Structure 1
């Protein structure tokens, strides 16, 4: 073992991470859920780093920070649109086979590369179906080796690809938005209101009034900027008859 010379480090990793959180990052468990290739927080960390690189320092005002964030989002939007165009129009020589013809221009290039890598195990999985494990199907929503064995003499069906890999535009056409309603919450609040006493009803009503009528909220910003750092400094009074030299002078 690489870390056998540091038993305290091994115990720390085992007790702090592996035992309580192993199902969140160990491949044996992450291969059982659909994560679409995202098994770490690198995307979040990289986005945070990119934003800090654009801001450069913490001395900017609201307008400069807003402009920097807007420029970063616009650049990311352009890069994603370029990747969509590449997946739609650019066709590599690897995907000119009959097997991929039904997916060209309809599925992202990353998904096609994943399918091409999985295709290398088709012959072995065809003779040993139990050895496939269907990891690609479970984690990425793409055909695994045993599924591709069925399409060796035909084309891969578009319905076998998860919708995530078929989203090559920013429009919402053809995608149904989930219905959002607060009827259940309102009924729960009404029942809770009826069960309270007069004082509780008045308190709950006051809280809800601030949400329903935000313009009538009694809260207002402080009249001046409040300095919260350091203790308050008392003004220094100098004796007019003092013979001590004034350092400032």
Structure 2
């Protein structure tokens, strides 16, 4: 291949073989052999002919079902071969079949029109924006199951954007909540044109509508995205906003590690910085900062960076301030990072349109919801043996096992001979659970349900009727759509436009005459990173701190690409001695 041109080929080789056939009125075929000679040898393997690689109708139905279930193409092909040993199809055959199925499911509509019909008749909460030329620029949506979970667990949320999820290269804002079991759930999603304050304000205002008129989270955790931080302050002024401690540490690493020549010096600095973050009161923080200024007074760049970039937001990440708020132990956005990773396992590629991405997101949400519902029902009838103590008499089967474990740790402190530190109220303030000091007072009695924050209560929650009510009308519409689809395939081309209008009336959703979004460039690559050649990958580009860690010097030989533990120079020296 050269010059970016596609290599083409043909199976036409001017073979003289010719046979004519005509069907008579009585139904009998009349066949005449015009020329029976060939200019080529006979094929030794019929798999070389596309007509022999076609799927049967039954196999097409299996492909549809497995595609909807999110099974990767290679596994679909393997499954089909297990049931049909003579299957001649190859990967290209499967991709073509999937493309045909996808086009047929559109019923003559554009992907954007089909998307709005899907979310309109599926009970989603959604909104969108488009520019003057009619191209979609913003799309917010929340699955009905996610809305139910958000309504039940409306206290703490984590927000972060992820990339490489769609063919338009638009960032996806993922808002993640926390359950009674300390697990995560997808609350809502928003595709944004840009990552500026007005874009975030638009998305957060739609998220606020899910929470209700007076609803606002207790705590929101994010990284240091100034546009998102400003938007949170605008939309949720009463909400406490915390910054991810992990992201802060990695940003400090990427900016400051190069200022240290020895690994031991860097480790010492990082330990000092961590101690400062974990200061439990303001006076301890002030002392730790003064010590850091004195100890690293020659590192002017580092001190200026910390002073100008992070200290103005110290109330959002230093424990002296953050441990006053009910964040349920969420200091970092790793929960959101994990949600991104799980979502991309469903997406598989980053070349899907919004309808395809929405379908994969729905699979993730529905599986996630089923796990939460099953766990809720299970913990209502399951009691770990170590919790059979008088203190927990009123709590078991009413409070999640995760919360009981956290209380049990405090119970062990309260009943141990070890002197318990002076109560600062941090554990109760942040977790909504009784601390060791309160348990010591009650160790001869029992804890009450009023001592437990509603976040951890399982007796006040039930999701058994939500998925069944999503609704019967939706099931009826799905049946009608399936019946209509079968008729649509038999229609002449001239009738399909009228049929498209009928399908819109069937689902009772108006067609927004909106074009697909323009393709946006990805967020800039960090210095030193290499742009991926595989444009379909969902894997993110390396972060700045990963590039620094990858290029850091070995403490033994000062080489790059390894550390002192794996240094070959060190290994050779030890073996020779």
Q: Name the TM-score class by shorter chain.
A: 0.5 to 0.7
Counterpart CA distance in 2 for 1:165 and 1:226 is 42
- Matched-pair contact (CA < 8 Å) for 1:126–1:149: no
Tell me how far apart the structure 2 counterparts of residues 134 and 52 of structure 1 sit (CA, whole Å): 40
Aligned residues: 181
Residue 323 of structure 2 contacts residue 429 of structure 2 at CA under 8 Å; is this kept in 1?
A: yes
What residue number does 2:405 align with? 113
Contact 2:397 2:458 in 1 (8 A): no
2:369 to 77, 90, 93: 77
Q: Which has the higher strand share?
A: 2
1:33 aligns with 325
Indicate how the Cα distance of structure 1 residues 126 and 166 shifts in structure 2: closer, same or farther if over 3 A, else same: farther
Number of the residue aligned with 1:193:
none
> 1:126 touches 1:146 (CA, 8 Å); kept in 2?
no
Distance 1:39 1:125 in 2: 31
Shift of 1:124: 7.3
Residues 1:12 and 2:279 are matched in the alignment:
no
Contact in 2 for aligned 1:103/1:158 (Cα 8 Å):
yes
Tell me if 1:97 matches 2:383: no
Q: Which residue of 2 aligns with 1:49?
A: 341
Q: How does 1:217-232 map to 2 (within 5 A)?
A: 220-221=513-514
Deviates more, 1:133-142 or 1:81-90: 81-90
C-alpha distance after superposition, 1:43-92 (max 9, x if no partner): 22221222222112221234422221111001111221233234222221
Partner Cα distance (1:228, 1:92) in 2: 53
In 1, the alpha carbon distance for the partners of 2:338 and 2:393 equals 35
Asked if 1:138 is matched to 2:426, the reply is no
Partner residue, 2:451: 160
SS of alignment partner, residue 399 of structure 2? coil
- Residues 226 and 120 (structure 1), Cα distance of their counterparts in 2 relative to 1, 3 Å cut: closer
Shift of 1:154: 1.3
Match of 1:148 among 439, 445, 452: 439
What is the Cα deviation at residue 118 of structure 1? 1.1
Mean Cα deviation higher: 99-108 or 29-38: 29-38
SS of match in other structure, 1:2: helix
- Measured in 1, the distance between the counterparts of 2:517 and 2:362 equals 30
- CA shift for structure 1 position 9: 4.0
Are the equivalent residues in 1 in contact too, given 2:380–2:458 (CA < 8 A)? no
Task: Note the C-alpha offset of 1:16.
Answer: 1.1
Residues 24, 30 of structure 1: 8 Å contact kept: yes
Counterpart residue number, 2:316:
24
**Residues 14 and 82 of structure 1, relative CA distance in 2, 3 Å threshold:** farther
On the 8 A contact 1:32/1:139 being kept in 2, the answer is: yes
Deviations 1:119-148 (A, max 9, x none): 1232579987x8021222111111112211
SS in 2 for 1:131: coil
* Deviating 4+ runs (over 6 angstroms): 124-128, 225-229
Give yes or no for contact 1:125–1:131 (8 Å, CA) kept in 2: no
> How many angstroms does 1:166 deviate by?
0.4
State the TM-score, normalized to the length of structure 2: 0.28
8 A contact 1:118–1:145 mirrored in 2: yes
Gap regions ≥5 residues in structure 1 = 174-214, 230-249
> CA 1:15 to 1:67, structure 2 compared with 1: closer, same or farther past 3 Å?
same
Q: Output the TM-score relative to the length of structure 1.
A: 0.62
Q: For 2:519 and 2:398, locate their aligned partners in 1 and report how far apart those are by CA, in whole Å.
A: 57
Q: Which structure dedicates a bigger proportion of its chain to helix?
A: 1
SS at 1:84 equivalent: helix
The CA RMSD measured in Å over matched residues stands at: 3.3
